[in-house]
Every structure is written in C-alpha cells, then in structure tokens.
Amino acid sequence: MSTQVLETPSQVPAPKKNGRVGGGLLDPRQLIRSLPDALRKLNPVTLWRNPVMFVVEVGAVFTTVLAVADPSFFAWAIVVWLWLTVIFANLAEAVAEGRGKAQAATLRAAKRDTTARRLRSSDAVDGDVVGAAELRPGDFVVVEAGEVVPGDGDVVEGIASVDESAITGESAPVIRESGGDRSAVTGGTKVLSDKIIVRITQKPGESFIDRMIALVEGADRQRTPNEIALNILLAALTIVFLVATATMQPLAIYSKLVNPGVPDSVALTSDGVTGIVLVSLIVCLIPTTIGALLSAIGIAGMDRLVQRNVLAMSGRAVEAAGDVSTLLLDKTGTITLGNRQAGEFVPVAGVSEAELAEAAQLSSLADETPEGRSIVVFAKERHGLRERELHGAEWVHFTAQTRMSGVNLGERQIRKGAASAVLRWVRDQGGHPTDEVGRIVDGISASGGTPLVVAERGRVLGVIHLKDVVKQGLRERFDEMRRMGIRTVMITGDNPLTARAIAEEAGVDDFLAEATPEDKLALIKQEQEGGRLVAMTGDGTNDAPALAQADVGVAMNTGTSAAKEAGNMVDLDSNPTKLIEIVEIGKQLLITRGALTTFSIANDVAKYFAIIPAMFAAVYPGLDALNVMRLSSPQSAVMSAVIFNAIVIVVLIPLALRGVRYRPSSASKLLSRNLYVYGLGGIIAPFVGIKLIDLLIHLLPGMS
C-alpha cells in the first residue's frame, strides 16, 4: 500500500503539501502575491456574482464621482477606504485560491506531454506510437518500466510497481495489477518495473489530474446549496438596508422643515457629503464581512481536504459531509487492523501454557503471514521465547488442501491450523482428541476470534486465539461521533456472532453482518428515507452502487475506476479511517460559515449604534442617549466605522482560511458557543475598534 493506516488520525498532523502544513496561519507574503488577482477581481463582470460586494463597489464608484465634484479630506478618505473594502474582500478570495496554485503547479509538472503505444486490441503485440492527447476511452496502451502512464485507466493485463508520488505525495511505490480492486492507474504516474496493458477510461482534459488542478485552483468550484441560500439572504439584507438608508435624507429634510432651528445633521450638510455619508452607512450596515469572506470559506474547505490527500468532486460533497448523521464503515482496515493477531494461548488439561506457546512458536517460525508472525511475537512477549535457528528442520507449509502448517524436528512433528484439519491429522497419528478441544474452539469462534489448534504427533496441546484487533483510539472517536449526533454502522462479511463481538469492542452503534452489495445499498436507502445523510467508503466495483447512493461516497485511490466514478470523493492515500476526518472537515466548514455570519450580523448591530446616533443626534436629541461611544464628531464616527469595516475583513482572512476550531458536541451546544463567542464578540469588537480608530483620527484636518 502507498501509506500505512493511521490508528488515531486525530493525533497526527495534516500531511505536508509543498513544504507547509495545511491550514496554517496566513503568510503576509501570500497577501502580496495575491494582490494582483484581487485587483483583477474588481471587474464588475466578475464581482456581480457577490451581490454584497457588488453594491460596495457601486458605492465606491459613486463616492469617487462625488469626491471629484466636491473634494474634501473627509470625502477622499471615505473613497479610499471604500475601495480598500472591495479590494480586501477580493483579496480574501484571491488568497484562498492562491493557496491551491502551488499544488496545481506540482500537479501540472506531472501532467506532461507523453506518447503512448496504442494497441489495436488488448492481446495485440505491436502498437502505434501516438500522443497522449489522442487517446480515447476504450483504447489499449502498453506501458513498460520507466515509462509514464499516458492516461487514467484500468490494468487489464500484467502487474507492475507504480510510482504515484506525483499524485499522492507518497514516495513508496504501489502495486497495480489486472483484476481485483487494485487495477486503476492514474495518468502522470510512472511504472517502475514490469509491463502492464492499460485500458483508457477518461477523455483528454477530463483526467484525474485535470480535475484535481481545476479543484485546487478553484476554477471548477460550484457554489453549494447552503452557500447559494446564504447569498440570497445576504442579498435580501442588502436590499432592506438600501431601502432603509434611502429614507435617511428625506427624514432629515422633513425634520429641518418641521424644526427650522435645529442644526443640520451630517446627513444634510451638502449634496456631496450627504451622498458619501449615506453610501458609507449602507456599506457599514449591510453584511460586508461575511459577504467578503463567504467564497474564501468555501474554497478553504476544499483546500483542507486536498491537504489531506482527498479529492472532492464538488463543494456539495464537502458540505454534505458536515451534515452527515450516519457513517457506514468497513470493518477490515477501518475498524480493525485487517490482520488477525495472536491474543491468547488456551492449553488443554494437562498441558502448560508455556509448552503450548513453545510448540506454537516452533510451528510458526517459517510462517511469513501476519498471523504467523504475530504468534512468534506473542510467544516472545508473553513467555520470553526467542526466535532461533533450527538446523535440520523440515518445514510444512500451509496449503488450501491441508489447511495447516508446521515443522518436523527429528522425532517431533508439530502442526497448527484449522480445527477440523488438525484434529483429523491427530487421529491419523493414532491420537484421540477430547471434547474439551471442541468447547474451546466453539468459545473462541463465538467471541469473534479465529481458533488455530496446535498439536504434536497424536496429542492436542491447545488452541491459539487469533483476534481481529480493533485499532487504538477508535472507541474514543466513535464516542465523539455519538456526541455529534452521528450514528456509526460497521459493515462486514463476518458472521453475526463475530460481527457483534467486534462491534461491541470498537464501540460502534450498530453493525451489518454478512453484507452483500445489495444489503449495503438497501441500508443506505433505509437511512436516507428517515431523513438522514449517509457517508461510506469503498474501493471495489461491487461498492459502486452504494457509493453512488451515499450522500458522501469516499472511493479509495487504489480501487477500481467504477468505484472512483461512483463516489463524490477520492482518498488518494486509500486510508478508510479518513472518512472520520472528512466528516470533521465538513463540520468545520459549516461551523466556520455560521460563526463568521453570526460575527458579521452582530458587527452590523454595533455599527448601527456607532453611526446613527452620531448622524442624527443634532436633529433628534433623544438619540444622544444611544451614543454610548461618545465619538469625537459625526464625520469621525462615519470614517471610523468605514475604516473598521475594511480592516476587520483582513483580520478575519486567516480565520476563514484556517477554519473555526471544531470540538465534537451537540448542535445546540455549538449554536450556544457560536452565539457567545462570535455573537457577543461581534458586538463588542466594533465598539472597541471604532472608538480606538476615532481617537486616532479625530485630530486630522477636516474631521473636527
């Protein structure tokens, strides 16, 4: 395999990509590099997709015209900060997109112009040399050691060692062979040994690398349903504040007519200043903060997946991962290590455990299977038995016919294997096994283990209990899932007794034993009918229907093309436990979006108290009671609010890119925490920030 399975994914750092650990703090140099892209995004044709920032840009253009017609320090200062607000918003998106450009450059280095030997059929010997761009689905190509795979496809003949480091970042080569679930190869990878014949499955320009480049650059990112809904909400709030602000000047005019003796408010000084103040009021009251950061949050969520070597085919899949309520997990390789290991020596009456351990170790010294090696190690750890060289030993290797293995040492003949096979051998040697052996074997089987009987000539010594070892830390992870309201279901082909024992040890909520592809599909549909979103992993063609049905289907990169096409995510490391991390990343995306939306709306409330009293206190003295900040002047209040509104966007860019830290808990607790931290913080921050800015600028010319 290309990478070892992580036992506790939450305890390891994110994989390094291009020399950095994903999700780090914002690099100031990245801001500078992204500035040209931010300026290019000022094009209204591009910006109109973001209605909030489009309104801000229109307001910046309008105030620029007013400042040219009626110039003043106040007018031009507002103009500069309104344009900076738009640029900072574009900068957030540009930085998020820029984080993927280095990854895209690395991928493009792997996407080179290659030639291919196209065969007329899969069994042909000679072929025509063509460019990789000329290959079409269904073509057969032959790839030998040292050559680059010209396109995505499946191995139909041969076996080879393949370097996939250009795609996965892992230097260890992987084996690709015809048949089974390890037949898929990716264009741009390199064959290191032997020769394979590949059937091309993708059109030019639609290869795995092409899709990955489009993803990490953000060029192929579609807005998700939640993002679209939030954009509609932000647009509605913008319209509401536009209408509300449009009434300000008529209200000031009416107040002046009714009470001619009152002084002019800042909303009714001159036509130029009035227009600038009203635009500033609109910009400060509409949700510019979340409007500026919304795209960056979505792009950064995709980026966090790519940093963990997961390719999401759509933003909808990432969002769905955050709303998943049922996780379907394969037992082997996900919940268990996949290789059964020795966990206990159970001797029969009259035999010591040390004697059984010594015979078990001797019979396993030449057994290179993971189970055999675990027996040797277990005997060494439990009884201090050391591996040793045996001279003159005759090794008896396991076969499907005998179903046992062992060793002959002179007069000693030791065997271990399946109970029925070893007991038959004992009887052939003239022995008479007791019923005790059967009871031990049945007990181990009922507990979910695998019994291996050990015998020496005509005498049974005991039974080795092989356990399907559950990975460390998973019970705690499943407890976290439970606190998040996520139900975990283990899927296995084992019998119900074995499945139940492993499920109880691992701490999953439920299990599906003796599962067939039809059973998996039926379980997913049943969960979805109850209104739940389902996530699962798979790698084989038989998993494709279930992967396609699941809301989040994570296909292993080592799997078949059918599995990868059916799923909406591909794990390049082929680590099934990563499904838990994917769910956490999805949750983090949704929480980040919710937290910054809460902060943005709370900001607007605070800015309302900062600006409105300062603007109209002269006309309506009763509003002076709401002027809790006691800002220096109405002009200073407006400018301070505009400056704070622009600066807070830059301050929040790192949080949007990194994401709000996720702590597993219920939805109600998450909501309470967001309201407390980001709601209350969003109200307090503007009061503090605007007051500090006011203190700095109130002595500037034209601001008194």
**3-class state of residue 104 by DSSP:** helix
Alpha-carbon separation of residue 46 from 40, 54, 166, 214, 231 (angstroms): 9, 9, 33, 18, 15
Which whole number is the average pLDDT over 134-156? Answer: 86
Which whole number is the average pLDDT over 404-417? Answer: 89
Model pLDDT, residue 347: 93
DSSP state of 149: P
**3-class state of residue 160 by DSSP:** strand
CB 311 within 8 A of CB 570: yes
Local confidence band at 435 (pLDDT 50, 70, 90 cut-offs): confident
DSSP state of 677: I
Model pLDDT, residue 17: 38
DSSP strands (E only) in 316-471: 326-330, 336-347, 394-396, 404-409, 412-417, 450-456, 459-470
**3-class state of residue 55 by DSSP:** helix
Which whole number is the average pLDDT over 687-703? Answer: 78
Mean per-residue pLDDT of the chain: 79
Active site residue 303: no
The residue to which tokens 């969960």 are assigned:
527
pLDDT at 205 over 70: no
Going by the annotation, the residues of the binding site are 367, 371, 398-405, 416, 539, 543
Angle at the Cα of 279 (from 275 to 282), degrees rounded to 5? Answer: 145
Which of the two residues, 571 and 303, has the higher pLDDT score? 571
**What whole-number percentage of the chain has pLDDT above 70?**
79
**310, containing H or E segment:** strand 310-312
Residues paired with 142 in a beta bridge: 117, 197
**3-class state of residue 180 by DSSP:** coil
- Which of 18-27, 208-217, 572-581 is predicted least confidently? 18-27
Of the candidates 575, 659, 607, which has an alpha carbon nearest to the alpha carbon of residue 297? 659
Residues paired with 141 in a beta bridge: 118, 198
> Residues 210, 303, 330, 573: which is the catalytic one?
330
Model pLDDT, residue 83: 94
Going by the annotation, the residues of the binding site for ATP are 367, 371, 398-405, 416
* pLDDT digit string, tens, across residues 158-204: 888 888 766 655 556 778 888 766 788 888 788 888 888 998 887 77
Model pLDDT, residue 348: 92
pLDDT at 64 over 90: yes
Of the candidates 611, 635, 613, which has an alpha carbon nearest to the alpha carbon of residue 686? 611
Local confidence band at 79 (pLDDT 50, 70, 90 cut-offs): very high
Of the candidates 6, 10, 193, 217, which has an alpha carbon nearest to the alpha carbon of residue 94? 217
* pLDDT digit string, tens, across residues 447-492: 767 889 999 988 999 999 988 777 777 888 888 778 778 888 988 8
Token pair recorded at residue 194: 């032997």
Instruction: Report which residue type is found at 401.
Output: Q
- Which of 224-233, 345-354, 365-374, 596-605 is predicted least confidently? 224-233
DSSP strands (E only) in 178-309: 184-185, 190-191, 195-200
> Domains (ranges, CATH) in the chain?
28-99+236-302+585-599+613-698 (no CATH), 115-150+152-201 (2.70.150.10), 318-335+471-572 (3.40.50.1000), 340-467 (3.40.1110.10)
Which of the two residues, 75 and 629, has the higher pLDDT score? 75
pLDDT at 315 over 70: no
**In 10 A of CB 65, how many CB atoms?**
12
| Cα gap 561→566, rounded to integer Å | 8
- Which of 347-356, 526-535, 628-637, 642-651 is predicted least confidently? 628-637
- Which of 78-87, 247-256, 592-601 is predicted least confidently? 247-256
**3-class state of residue 467 by DSSP:** strand
Of the candidates 469, 436, 468, 440, which has an alpha carbon nearest to the alpha carbon of residue 452? 440
Token pair recorded at residue 525: 């549909």
Alpha-carbon separation of residue 106 from 17, 160, 164, 174, 440 (angstroms): 10, 24, 13, 20, 57
Angle at the Cα of 165 (from 541 to 474), degrees rounded to 5? Answer: 60
List CB contacts of 255: < 8 A, sequence separation 6 or more. Answer: 262, 265, 619, 620
**In 10 A of CB 134, how many CB atoms?**
13
* pLDDT digit string, tens, across residues 348-400: 998 999 899 999 988 888 887 778 888 988 888 887 777 666 677 888 888 76
**What whole-number percentage of the chain has pLDDT above 90?**
10
**3-class state of residue 118 by DSSP:** strand
